[in-house]
Structure 1
Amino acid sequence: MKIRTILQCLISIAVVALLAAGPAMANTRIVGSGASFPAPIYTTWFKQFSRANKDVQINYQSKGSGAGIRDFQNGVVDFAASDAAMSEEEMAKVDRGVQLLPMTAGEVVLAYNLKGVKALKLPRDIYPAIFLGKVKKWNDPAIAAANPGITLPDEDITVVVRADSSGTTFVFTKHLCAVSPEFKSGPGYGKTVNWPAAANLVKGPKNDGVTALIKQTPGAIGYIEYGFARMAKLDMASLQNKDGKFVAPGLEGGQAALAGATIPENMIAWLPDPAGEKAYPIATYTWMVFYKKYDDPKTADALKKMVAYCLDEGQKIADKAGYIPLPTNVVEKVRKASQNIQ
């Protein structure tokens, strides 16, 4: 009996040790960091991919596009993610070469917290003026004129912007520069900008932080990715597009915006002010950023396999997650370009 008991104990210890060690095949670990804009869908994709591929484990840290690019340049991650792509100057600092791949697309929305106002319309000369600090009250005559039948409160506007280096800020300010000469000659565009001093300007980190600030601040308006606003049940303004039409954010407006974009060989296409009656005016591709040369062939193979999964399976859930599925022709261009990862 004693020998049997000892054997049973030894077997139990061995089983526990095997379980603690995890699956024998889980031997390729991938680390990425960057944009918070696509973080919800990326996190879902990576979990699903790892379940389907037990030999690969992916850890993605949502810390902002600027931080992700810095991690990538410093060689501390296997890939990065950015809504601002990478400039030629930034890529020149990476000895191993850079391959940008647009992996999904989304919309930057103006979410607001205004009790009793559910269908706000903002003309294209007014929302830049809000972020310039020129329009300061919700019942400003210019806002009221675009919203007949809606009672707007005599309340100060609180403008919420990003505190960190942000691809979402890059996309939003690039759009503002396209529609507002004053914004272009003033703050300009970038991952960070010098916002005009305003009595009610507050800053939050990442899309999550801006979302939380809007939700808890009556009278607030801020720019965030559509999926974050939808998940938080925030109201979103319909924006006047290039054709003069007010368009609400959502799949139809996003797809109409992408329809006019052509993906060049470097895989970078911007949509600062898309044309089309149905086009939502602030839409963007967002990129994963890879090295062209990896020291470990297994890492390169795992990354190419991950990209293929995101193209074949990941696009199926894009709309449900609050993003725009890539057009078929873009999927094929991304698939071909992914072979540059070696």
Structure 2
Amino acid sequence: MKKILTLGLSLIAMTAAAASAATITGAGASFPYPLYSKMFAEYKTASGNDVNYQSVGSGSGQQQIIARTVDFGASDNPMSDEAMKPAPGKLLHIPTAIGAVVPSYNLPGVTTKLNFDGKLLADIYLGKVKLWSDPAIKKLNPDVTLPGLPITVARRSDGSGTTAVFTDYLSKVSSEWKTKVGSANSVQWPVGVGGKGNDGVAGIVKSTPGAIGYVELIYAKQTKLDFGAVKNRAGKMIVADNGPAALAAEGVVIPADTRVSITNSANPNAYPIASFTYIIFYQDQKYGSRTEAQAKDLKNLLSWMVSTGQQYNEPLDYAKLPANAVNKAKTIIASMTYGGAKF
């Protein structure tokens, strides 16, 4: 009888735990997906709450949070005021990490890490530099024997924050790029083969001798792709890593809403194609059929991501948030309301 009673109490406890566990939904950037996968698995262990995150690209993440089909959107580029106009409520942004976008390439027989600068990358993506043996590439890599392979340009086919970061950088370093193409989640590419997500671009580069593509650092490392050093504003060739990516934000004034670009940093040791990645959510959480409990679950997750969760950034090749960004993020999270009242 005692065993039956104990079993019954255990079943009741398990049922209660299952009932109290929440599922938080998010969608957007592939840039932080490896990090978010780790974070959300650890968060479930810590809280019991599931986070269902779909890596569908920043553009889709922005659209889904406007449509209120997810609890949060994720984007590597912050939404502009114009982009937020269709939202039925005030949207907030918080950064969660800093990542680096690298020029990855597939050049059989070339074992020396290649050097790039902004003008060369712009000219490759403008279709002006077509061969790996082009004098512009040789000039930056005088000691490398370069093959006469044609360059296959790989780029994103979906609305992408990684694209926004990369094209933001190119627009800062090439007036021709800024005039002809510009910067956005989706642009009219002069040349190239499209892949969906960072993994799609990495896959094209991996399978295509002569290819070059821009991907978040962890995707290059996970797929064992070669990636180049990039000359920064101070004239130094910098290889992407946690430290140089973090330095891109050093000394940057973080605005109250945290929406800021850190590409082409003036810091002499910074990697130049770096960016915050953002979570986007509604300030007032009372909409549709949402309960206050759901609002609290989201708030708790966001608070954890900018505090305890930061320990997972560096092991996955993302930089942790600087203290000023953490403080701004905490202030934004604290401003969340439910039906106009703080909770």
Report the counterpart of residue 109 of structure 1 in structure 2: 102
The equivalences for 1:91-170 within 5 A come to 91-117=84-110, 118-170=112-164
CA drift of 1:272 comes to: 3.0
State the AA in 2 paired with 1:212: G
User: Which digits, 9 at most, give the CA deviation of each residue in 1:112-132, with x for residues without a partner?
Assistant: 111232310013321110011
For 2:40 and 2:336, the matched residues in 1 are separated by 18
State the AA in 1 paired with 2:73: A
Report the counterpart of residue 172 of structure 2 in structure 1: 178
The answer to whether the aligner puts 1:86 opposite 2:79 as a matched pair is: yes
Task: Go from structure 1 to structure 2 and tell me whether the alpha carbon gap of 1:209 and 1:18 turns closer, same or farther (over 3 Å shift).
Answer: farther
Provide structure 2 residue ranges, at least 5 long, that are not aligned to the other structure. 338-343
State the AA in 1 paired with 2:47: N
CA drift of 1:101 comes to: 0.5
Report the counterpart of residue 327 of structure 1 in structure 2: 322
For 1:204 and 1:22, the matched residues in 2 are separated by 44
Tell me, yes or no, if the aligned pair for 2:232 and 2:268 is still in contact at 8 Å.
yes
State the AA in 2 paired with 1:282: I
CA drift of 1:50 comes to: 1.3
State the AA in 1 paired with 2:295: A
**Count of aligned positions:** 331
User: Which digits, 9 at most, give the CA deviation of each residue in 1:77-115, with x for residues without a partner?
Assistant: 111101121111222222231111111110111111112
State the AA in 1 paired with 2:148: D
Report the counterpart of residue 251 of structure 1 in structure 2: 242
CA drift of 1:24 comes to: 3.2
CA drift of 1:16 comes to: 11
For 1:186 and 1:22, the matched residues in 2 are separated by 59
User: Which digits, 9 at most, give the CA deviation of each residue in 1:198-240, with x for residues without a partner?
Assistant: xxx2110011111111111111110010111111111111011
For 2:82 and 2:176, the matched residues in 1 are separated by 27
State the AA in 2 paired with 1:256: L
User: Which digits, 9 at most, give the CA deviation of each residue in 1:169-210, with x for residues without a partner?
Assistant: 01110110100011011111111111114xxx2110011111
State the AA in 1 paired with 2:261: W
Tell me, yes or no, if the aligned pair for 1:159 and 1:221 is still in contact at 8 Å.
yes
Over alpha carbons, which structure has the higher Rg?
1
For normalisation by structure 2, the TM-score amounts to 0.91
Report the counterpart of residue 229 of structure 1 in structure 2: 220
For 2:203 and 2:16, the matched residues in 1 are separated by 37
State the AA in 2 paired with 1:232: T
State the AA in 1 paired with 2:201: V
Tell me, yes or no, if the aligned pair for 1:99 and 1:340 is still in contact at 8 Å.
no
TM-align CA RMSD: 2.2
For 1:135 and 1:18, the matched residues in 2 are separated by 67
For normalisation by structure 1, the TM-score amounts to 0.91
Tell me, yes or no, if the aligned pair for 2:98 and 2:246 is still in contact at 8 Å.
no
Report the counterpart of residue 206 of structure 1 in structure 2: 197
Report the counterpart of residue 240 of structure 1 in structure 2: 231
- Deviating beyond 4 angstroms after TM superposition, the runs of 4 or more aligned structure 1 residues are 14-22
State the AA in 2 paired with 1:244: G
For 1:210 and 1:15, the matched residues in 2 are separated by 52
For 2:319 and 2:104, the matched residues in 1 are separated by 18
State the AA in 2 paired with 1:179: V
Identity value in percent: 37
State the AA in 2 paired with 1:158: T
Tell me, yes or no, if the aligned pair for 1:254 and 1:279 is still in contact at 8 Å.
yes
Task: Go from structure 1 to structure 2 and tell me whether the alpha carbon gap of 1:218 and 1:95 turns closer, same or farther (over 3 Å shift).
Answer: same
CA drift of 1:260 comes to: 3.3
For 2:143 and 2:79, the matched residues in 1 are separated by 45
Q: Secondary structure at the match of 1:288?
A: strand
State the AA in 1 paired with 2:85: A
For 2:260 and 2:56, the matched residues in 1 are separated by 23
